[in-house]
Structure 1
Amino acid sequence: MALRVWIAVCLLCLAPLTALADDRLVRLHAPAGLDETGLLKHILPRFSLKTQVRIERVETPEQADLVLGSEGRALFEGAGATWHMAVNAADHPGTQKLADWLTSEIGLNTITGFAPEGTPLFAPPSDRVAEVAAVELEGDPKLGHDVSRAKCARCHVVEEAGRMNSIGSTPSFFVLRSLGDWIDRFSAFYVLNPHPSFTQVDGVTPPFPLDRPSPIVPVVMTLDELSAIMAYVGSLSAADLGAPIQHQ
């Protein structure tokens, strides 16, 4: 009898831990056509590293908490189709985090920034105005300042004190902050030339090809550092250039 009581107590103690683990596991189904583009390998590690929610791929929609396919809310288009999201487990915390991220501005920018050959493969769906949640810059601006000085200041002006220590042909963070799409540019900077040739984002970018190593000392950062940089840039005052900015 004592042994049975002890086992029951242990199971009760482990139950909250099991529930917590399940909250951080999302079962996802996506068709082979989407999988073969490489998009999921690009976006899912970024989501998991940021949220600590693990994604498990399953073979059928019936097994999944969230399905990417032809039904539900339109998210993006490309590879010959418009891709939708259907949520099977709306009350599951991890699933809700993934759904929120996919419909957020950061998530959409990550999807549309996927350009393995230099040309983006995906875009917002053309059959509706993209409805994205307002972006929340959750990073640490102080850390972003430090990372910007350490990893970005050799090319960009990142603070008032560094105006003489950068490449004159590159825009300052203050000028970039003036652009209406500055969040897009920073969140996907690693796919915008010339950054892919010398930048590595942990868990997101593939290693440099052996026959094409970085031409300079690589810029290596984590997603937390990138979030911190964006929070720092968000705290800056936009440069006043005296006229609407013209850019391509």
Structure 2
Amino acid sequence: MVRVLALLVALIGSPLHAQEAQVAVPDALATSGLVDHLLPRFSLKTGLRLRPGDASPVARFGDAGAPVIAGPDRVWALEVLAPEGERFAAWLRSDVGKRTIAGFGDGQFSAATDVRKAKAETRVTGDVDKGARLAMDLCGRCHVIDDTNRMKGLGSTPSFEVLRTLPNWQGRFEAFYALAPHGAFTQVKDVTPPFDPRHPPPIVPLEMTLDDLEAIAAFAGTLPPADLGAPLQSR
């Protein structure tokens, strides 16, 4: 009887350690604070304790893998490296995970599970002619689209041809509404939430559908990437 009681005391007195694993997080994402917001909430739901680390990560944020987070200035993918990483990826794709992402900060981040991973040579489907018209009407307010409005864009915004030089250009076009500063004045039907009445859009809002967005991306895919010249050589 004494031995049984001693065993029970030992079991009760021994803390139960939750399973722990690491997720590799680039500095650019880590400094945003989003991952510190996500990991404790994932652990609370699943019992799997995740923390940032590169020693032996079960998943890695970056360019490889499936897109999971958009904003404020790029789309982040998650590369699954172990079964525990797949659990984290599945949670990010779930409704709870999406709401957790969107609930961080001032809403500068959103889920990007429906954004296809961009590659420079990826074929984009959509109505190119319609996209050309929409790009000029909607995006031409700030961006140089092509020679038609070559001298009318804002100097602080990249032209469509400059954007085409980026390796993830397609993802940036397809998720542009989640990238700063577009979220403050863009409404995509059945995708973006209504504007917060406390923070009205600073300019006349851009309003479009997913078909419109696909058409603009298809048009952008027909533009030649800008020739930015060779990198500077130091001597």
Q: TM-score, normalised by structure 2?
A: 0.51
Distance 1:219 1:237, change over 3 A: same
Does 2:112 match 1:125? Answer: no
Name the counterpart of 1:166.
153
Q: What is the alpha-carbon root mean square deviation over aligned residues?
A: 3.3
Amino acid in structure 1 at the alignment position of 2:164: R
Does 2:181 match 1:227? Answer: no
1:166: Cα distance to partner? Answer: 1.3
Q: Deviations over 1:137-171 (max 9, x none)?
A: 11011010000011000100011120111111100
Name the counterpart of 2:173.
186
Distance 1:178 1:201, change over 3 A: same
Amino acid in structure 1 at the alignment position of 2:141: R
Aligned residues: 138
Structure 1 residue runs without a partner (length 5+): 1-76, 82-104
Does 2:227 match 1:237? Answer: no
Does 2:143 match 1:156? Answer: yes
Give the 5 Å matches for 1:81-100.
none
Runs of 4+ residues deviating >3 angstroms: 77-81, 118-123
Name the counterpart of 1:137.
124
Amino acid in structure 1 at the alignment position of 2:156: S
Once residues 37 and 74 of structure 2 are traced to their aligned partners in structure 1, the CA distance between those partners, rounded to angstroms, is 11
Q: Deviations over 1:42-99 (max 9, x none)?
A: xxxxxxxxxxxxxxxxxxxxxxxxxxxxxxxxxxx99878xxxxxxxxxxxxxxxxxx
Name the counterpart of 2:202.
215
Name the counterpart of 2:44.
none
Give the 5 Å matches for 1:3-152.
108-109=66-67, 112-114=68-70, 123-127=77-81, 135-152=122-139
Once residues 213 and 203 of structure 2 are traced to their aligned partners in structure 1, the CA distance between those partners, rounded to angstroms, is 20
Q: Secondary structure at the match of 1:124?
A: strand
Please tell me whether Structure 1 or Structure 2 has the larger radius of gyration of its CA atoms. 2
Q: Secondary structure at the match of 2:200?
A: coil
Distance 1:144 1:192, change over 3 A: same
Amino acid in structure 1 at the alignment position of 2:163: L
For 2:182, which of 192, 195, 214 is the aligned residue? 195
Once residues 120 and 168 of structure 1 are traced to their aligned partners in structure 2, the CA distance between those partners, rounded to angstroms, is 20
Name the counterpart of 2:163.
176
1:209: Cα distance to partner? Answer: 0.4
Distance 1:203 1:123, change over 3 A: same
Q: TM-score, normalised by structure 1?
A: 0.49
Structure 2 residue runs without a partner (length 5+): 1-34, 40-62, 83-116
